Amino acid sequence: MRMGGDVTYNEVEEEEKVRNEEEVEEKMVIQRKYAVAGGGFPPMTKGVVVGYALTSKKTKSFLQPKLEGLARNKGIQFVAIDPSIPLSDQGPFDIVLHKLSGKEWRHVLEDYRRNHPEVTVLDPPDAIQLVHNRQSMLQDVADLNLSNAYGKVGVPKQLIFKKDPSSMPDALNKAGLRFPIVAKPLFAKSHELYLAYDEFSLQNLEPPLVLQEFINHGGVLFKVYIVGEAIKVVRRFSLPDVTKPELSKNAGVYRFPRVSCAAASADEADLDPCVGELPPRPLLEKLAKELRRRLGLRLFNLDIIREHGTRDRYYVIDINYFPGYGKMPEYEHIFTDFLLSLVPRK
């Protein structure tokens, strides 16, 4: 709808979406012409060829001009994969980078991995599925129960709830979860969450849900980006602490589109050192190494909080596959170095 000749937010968003899709389509046009003509795809220049299968939104945020320029200088070529053409008829690729959903796409990738073991697929579809389900997402962190001289890493007390909402209060009591409680969709298709102050309000939410005990953390979380063996940590503002007086006065469920975002960067903020100090590097390196092995992933990030009032008690509250690396400082250099490390020198 237009008011007084102004363009609404939805219209701008729709126009941007169309432009993104057109840009991706243009990158595929030449490839289609070669494939349809029976001549295969255009000959690749020597170097590392990375086929990518991403949504138009992900393509725009990840394949920024600075990344593409640096990649070209290092001998890396990004080639769009066309899902409408058999994957084996495209390429040849050294690496396949993907973040598309659906069972059909997973089957395509699994077949491709079996038939092309020489190609590195980032990452295995089965491993990705484990972090899309919040019931299994944090299990490896809990099993690891990491504790060393630098700190202790665990997960919040949580409950998987799939039943009739009216039985939720009884389930919470049996699980020993205390309010406030963070409620998230069981399947990590979005970043939205709810903060509930009482058991009756929770019944308004539709299962299946993951219910996590909220832990005061000074309103700051740490996003730990992992790209192969490389680690980059940034601070983000998060949900504020909830005091006992606030808990006794508040009621209801409050919806948040996401816990943090790039616009809420806390890296330049004047924070209390007890809140803003980054987790110890050796602790993060040990955690990342173990989770790479256990999860079978090389591209993911961790949302970590430090319990307020402690110096060394950390909790992993979320894991995301192939996160928004475009928001990570120096991601162009880190990512291109990682891609080159995967392929023997040509």
List, as residue ranges, the binding site for Mg(2+): 303, 318, 320
Whether 346 contacts 82, CB under 8 Å: no
Calculated CA dihedral for residues 29, 32, 33, 37, nearest 10 degrees? 180
User: Binding site for ATP: which residues?
Assistant: 134, 184, 212-223, 238
Residue that the structure tokens 């992993």 belong to: 316
**Measured in whole angstroms, how far is the alpha carbon of residue 343 from the centre of its chain?**
25
Structure tokens at 197: 């102050």
Residues paired with 192 in a beta bridge:
none
Sheet with 313-321, side-by-side order of all strands: 147-148, 151-154, 313-321, 299-306, 220-227, 230-237
The residues that bridge with 211 in the sheet, in sequence order, are 159, 183
Strands laid side by side in the 48-54 sheet: 76-80, 48-54, 95-99, 120-122
User: How many CA atoms lie within 13 Å of 314's alpha carbon, on the beta-carbon side?
Assistant: 29
CB of 234 closer than 8 Å to CB of 260: no
Tokens 């009216």 locate to 166
User: Which residues are documented as binding site for 1D-myo-inositol 1,3,4-trisphosphate?
Assistant: 58, 99, 191, 223, 320, 324
User: What angle in degrees, to the nearest 10, is found between the helix axes of 125-132 and 281-295?
Assistant: 120
8-state DSSP, 264: G
Residues contributing to the annotated binding site? 58, 99, 134, 184, 191, 212-223, 238, 303, 318, 320, 324
Q: Nearest Cα to 93, choosing from 68, 112, 65?
A: 112
The DSSP element (H or E) to which 59 belongs, if any, is helix 56-62
